[in-house]
A and B are shown apart, each in its own frame.
Chain A
Amino acid sequence: MDNQRTHEPTPVWHLERMGRIYDCGEDTVIYFDTRSGDTHLITLFAAFLLESLAGRSLTLQQIEAVAAEDTNPDDMEALGPAIIESLDTLVDLDIVERL
């Protein structure tokens, strides 16, 4: 039996170029993707993640660190899964790349 183990690279999320956001004070915002020309209805949290990722690549740990600054300590446990869920949606929408 071959005991050789493969190590999956740490996933990185990347947003090439920040689009335009229309925030009119609701819990959702309009995101206009200037790269594709598509318009999306996204959550405020997703918009926060996009602003955090704008023009750069971050690991989950790095995104968690940025998000933790604005997060209530009681909600810290749920932060990681919430980030993953939002990023998965943004990847599905072709706004963010998972590298």
Chain B
Amino acid sequence: MQYLRDIPRPELERRLAGDGVSLTVGPYRFNLKSNLAKVSEGLRKLYADFPLAEADDYIDFPVAIRSTGPLSRPRGKSEFSFEHQRPFGFVPTPQAFAFLEWGMNWCLSAHTNEYLKLHSAVVARDGGAIVMPGVPGAGKSTLCAALGLRGWRILSDEHALLQPGTTDVISACRPVSLKNESIDVIKRFEPDAVFGPESHDTHKGTVAHMKADLAPDSHDTAPLPARMMLFPRYSATDPQRISVRRRTQSFILAAYHSFNYSLMGEAGFDAMRTLIDGVQCYDLVYRDLDWAIQNIGELHTKACRQ
């Protein structure tokens, strides 16, 4: 198997500007094209250990972020595209890497329905996964990054892909997206964490992505059973706590955080019911990452024994 790191830099840039580079991301294949140095640099840092797709693999998502044409290039604009769709319009070229990541998220969120998909971080240890749904800003990505840097396997910071009829989660490991203060929080938490290019003044503020495939089995696509569902919320002022969340409330909240629960109809109801029946549900309020990691670890160990 070949990895992106096996492609020498000039060759990578040539291929990105030409037919593209095809990567395996969990159960999917992305073909990436770009003529932007910042994108090439970001991919080299954050996707180095991603397996390349085989030549005859089906490409699920042929995507590109490019600065092209007589109007966009001089104005410093680029455009993300998936086939003929351009969901963001023109974006500032210095923010291109962030928009590539958001575009890849959008591909998964809007175009696949074989899984029940939750807007959720997912981490795993000891053969069991924790699903952590949360609205943007809840602190799920920061927590996910910190857990990954302390030995947990990151399956995703954005998409929980759940196999209907089971509690099994499929990994779609990609870089963790961090915003604003969270970037420095994680850099202080682990100075060796690897970051890609920072994108400033986006609609979310400053955004940077952290290399997430830190475990030997990061790109393994074998299903892992979810043992817990944890709803994290960062708060600088509220007391830190982990408390049991009622299953019916967890069902409603998880459905709210789902990309395709409603679209799946009755199959979505059945899939969510199986998931909620099979996991322990908790609320987590945290401000200290070490405290959160220790308490999550203890709960997870207990849940895996049950």
B105 at the interface (CB under 8 A from A): no
Q: Give complex CA distance A37, B249 in Å.
A: 18
Q: Among A20, A24, A34, A39, point to the contact of B255 (Cβ < 8 A).
A: A39
B265 with A26: CB separation less than 8 A: no
Q: Give complex CA distance A22, B271 in Å.
A: 12
What are the interface flags for A30-61 relative to B under an 8 Å C-beta threshold, 1 for contact and 0 otherwise?
10101001010100000000000000000000
Residue of A nearest to B252 (CB): A41
What are the interface flags for A16-34 relative to B under an 8 Å C-beta threshold, 1 for contact and 0 otherwise?
0000101010101110101
Q: Give complex CA distance A97, B196 in Å.
A: 56
What are the interface flags for B223-260 relative to A under an 8 Å C-beta threshold, 1 for contact and 0 otherwise?
00000000000000000000000111101100100000
A20 with B248: CB separation less than 8 A: no
B246 with A22: CB separation less than 8 A: no
A37 with B265: CB separation less than 8 A: yes
Q: Give complex CA distance A95, B273 in Å.
A: 20
B277 at the interface (CB under 8 A from A): yes
- B: contact size bracket: 10 to 19
The answer to whether residues A24 and B265 also contact, given A30-B252, A39-B252, A41-B248 and a CB cut-off of 8 A, is no
Q: Which residues in A have their C-beta under 8 angstroms from that of B112?
A: none
Q: Give complex CA distance A24, B40 in Å.
A: 50
Q: Which residues in A have their C-beta under 8 angstroms from that of B186?
A: none
Chain A proximity of B46: nearest CB distance (Å)? 37
Chain A proximity of B259: nearest CB distance (Å)? 15
Q: Among A30, A32, A41, point to the contact of B266 (Cβ < 8 A).
A: A32
Q: Which residues in B have their C-beta under 8 angstroms from that of A37?
A: 262, 265-266
- A: contact size bracket: 10 to 19
Q: Among A24, A32, A41, point to the contact of B276 (Cβ < 8 A).
A: A24
Q: Which residues in B have their C-beta under 8 angstroms from that of A29?
A: 248
Q: Give complex CA distance A28, B251 in Å.
A: 11
A24 with B277: CB separation less than 8 A: yes
A30 with B248: CB separation less than 8 A: yes
B269 at the interface (CB under 8 A from A): yes
Q: Give complex CA distance A20, B268 in Å.
A: 12
Chain A proximity of B99: nearest CB distance (Å)? 33
Q: Give complex CA distance A58, B157 in Å.
A: 50
A26 with B252: CB separation less than 8 A: no
Q: Which residues in B have their C-beta under 8 angstroms from that of A32?
A: 266, 269
Q: Give complex CA distance A32, B246 in Å.
A: 18
Chain A proximity of B59: nearest CB distance (Å)? 33
11 further A-B contacts with Cβ under 8 Å, apart from A32-B266, A34-B266, A37-B262, are A20-B269, A22-B273, A26-B247, A30-B248, A30-B251, A30-B252, A30-B273, A37-B266, A39-B255, A41-B248, A41-B251
A-B pairs with lowest CB-CB distance, top 10: A32-B269, A24-B247, A28-B248, A22-B273, A41-B252, A30-B251, A26-B248, A37-B265, A26-B246, A30-B248
Residues of B within 8 A of A (CB): 246-249, 251-252, 255, 261-262, 265-266, 269, 273, 276-277
Residues of A within 8 A of B (CB): 20, 22, 24, 26, 28-30, 32, 34, 37, 39, 41
Pairs across A and B, CB under 8 Å, 5 listed = A22-B251, A26-B246, A30-B248, A39-B251, A41-B248
